[in-house]
Amino acid sequence: MSKPVLVTGSSRGIGAASAIRLASEGYDICVNYVQDASAANKVVEEIESIGRKALAIQADVSQETQVLALFERMDDYFGAVYGLVNNAGVLFKQMRVEEMSAERINTVLTTNVTSYFLCAREAVKRMSLDRGGSGGVIVNVSSAAARIGSAGEYVDYAASKGAIDSMTIGLAQEVAGQGIRVNAVRPGFIYTEMHRDGGEPGRVDRLKDSLPMKRGGTTEEVAAAVAWLISEESSYTTGSFIEVSGGR
């Protein structure tokens, strides 16, 4: 039986690694992207080479109408959604709060928080037992920044991930009786292109010695945690967090 999983923001980084790892464990994957169709299609090709079904769908998941269209296309192509990995996000150039514009703050919160709520809402509607669904799993990609605060770099990003932590706990309690589990992973210093977006491509190498493990993490290591939370091996786990942060 097919178990379709939507991975938002999965044309690169943690999203792409999670999509490929989940496909290797037998899931069919909807690869969501906002701009880079070429990268998304490469992820689709890799998933298909594993022998799983995949489809790339362009959508800005912070926009309600686009989320609705995304889920409708998924319904038509895959059938009932089994899993959602909320991963799409944005991070801007490092700066102090006193320098941040309202436009920047609102963009970060809309992209990193509203998108998770909208996708979770549509997934819950389809998964809930009371609505005729068969249950399912939601995994939110948070960040160690939610605990650390990212002072002097991107407190706005850290705050958005703090909101995701609260969402994870509250939503898990709301839908536990509907056969839906909701958990999160908190990546730390992971080698991804997002640090370049923040203006410091070498950030992980600069900070890795501050970690107990003295190294940065890989997207595959985060994907492994995502895959465990999606799997039946975590069937009694909800409202929980896995730290993938090298001990910090």
Residue-by-residue DSSP string for 103-143: HHHHHHHIIIIIHHHHHHHHHHHHH-GGGT---EEEEEE--
Give the residue ranges of the chain where pLDDT is below 70: 1, 194-200
Which residues have a catalytic role annotated?
157
> What are the structural domains, with CATH classification, of the chain?
4-244 (3.40.50.720)
CA 137 – CA 110 distance, rounded (Å): 23
Identify the helix (H) or strand (E) that includes residue 33: strand 28-33
Q: Do residues 191 and 248 make contact, with C-beta atoms less than 8 angstroms apart?
A: no
- Strands laid side by side in the 180-187 sheet: 54-58, 28-33, 4-7, 83-86, 136-141, 180-187, 241-244
Q: What is the pLDDT of residue 197?
A: 64
CA-to-CA dists, residue 156 to 72, 95, 96, 99, 104, angstroms: 32, 10, 9, 11, 9
H-run or E-run covering 244: strand 241-244
Model pLDDT, residue 203: 80
pLDDT of residue 136: 98
The pLDDT assigned to 14 comes to 96
Could you list the beta-strand ranges (E) of 125-205: 136-141, 180-187
CA-CA-CA-CA dihedral for 26, 161, 246, 15, to nearest 10: 30
- For residue 180, the model assigns a pLDDT of 98
pTM of the model: 0.95
pLDDT for residue 210 = 83
pLDDT for the residue 195? 54
pLDDT score for 216? 85
Looking at residue 198, its pLDDT comes to: 61
